[in-house]
Amino acid sequence: MSKPVDTSRQRRRWSAHRRACWIVAVNWGCSSVELVSVMPSPARPLPSVEHTENVLRVQLDTSSIRLPLHLNGTNVAFTDMDRALRSAIEQAITRPRTHPFNTAAHTLHVELLGAQAEASAGRIVVSLFVRATLRRKNGNAFVAQTHAHATQSGSYTSSNGVDAVINCASTIGAELEGWVSGLEQP
C-alpha cells in the first residue's frame, strides 16, 4: 500500500516555489532609474522673474500626470518638470509689453493635463498639453480659458534630451503669452 500524500505540505512547497520565482522575476525586471533634472545646473541658472505688483501670477497644477516623467524606451525619468514649465510660463508672461488689462488683478491657473516622452534610435520626442484659465484674484471669477500643446524633438545623446523638454516648456510659455496679450479688457 502506498502512503497517503500530504497535500497541504505539497501545496506549501509549490506556494513557496511560486513566491520565489515571482520575487526573482520582479527583481530581474526592475532596473534602476536615472533621474535627470530638466532645470539648469546652479552654474547656469534660469533668468530670474521679478515679482512686482503688475505681474500676472501663475499657478501650476501637475496633479493630473505622474511625475517624474518617464522617458519611454530608456531607464531615464525627468524631474523638476513642474518647475521648468512654471519658469518658462513666467518668463514669457513677464516680458515687457503693455497688457490690455490690469494683470495684477488676475491669476493664470495652468493645469498640466498630459506629458509624454519617448526615445528611439537616438532621438527623443516630448509632448506637453496644458489648460490655462485666467481668473480674477478678487472673487476667483472666470475670465477666459485656453489649451496649449507643444511637441519637440531632439537628439537623445545631448544632455539626455533635456533640451527638448525645455524647448517644449518654452513653446507652451510663448503660446500662453500670445493668448494673454491678445485678450481684451474683461
Strands 123-136 and 57-61: unpaired
Give residue 40's pLDDT: 73
Give residue 39's pLDDT: 87
Check pLDDT > 70 for residue 7: no
Per-residue pLDDT tens for 91-122?
998 866 555 566 778 899 999 999 999 999 98
DSSP-assigned states of every residue in 30-87:
--PPEEEE-SPPTTSPPPP----TTSPEEEEE-TTS-SSEEEETTTEEEE-HHHHHHH
Give residue 116's pLDDT: 97
For residues 165 and 78, the answer to whether their CB atoms sit within 8 Å is yes
CA gap 12, 181 in Å, rounded: 70
Contacts of residue 9, defined as CB under 8 A and 6 or more positions apart, other chains included, come to none
> Where residue 43 falls among pLDDT bands split at 50, 70, 90?
very low
The count of other CB atoms within 10 Å of the CB of residue 19 is 10
Query: Over the chain, what is the mean pLDDT?
Result: 81
For residues 116 and 81, the answer to whether their CB atoms sit within 8 Å is no
Question: Which of 60-74, 88-102, 121-135, 142-156 shows the lowest mean pLDDT across its residues?
Answer: 88-102
Fold of 34-181: Rossmann fold (3.40.50)
| Pairwise pLDDT comparison (109 vs 42), residue with the higher score | 109
Query: In whole angstroms, how far apart are CA 179 and each of 48, 58, 144?
Result: 22, 14, 10
Check pLDDT > 60 for residue 47: no
Name the DSSP letter for residue 127: E
| Pairwise pLDDT comparison (148 vs 98), residue with the higher score | 148
Name the DSSP letter for residue 148: E
Give residue 77's pLDDT: 94
Q: What is the pTM of this model?
A: 0.75
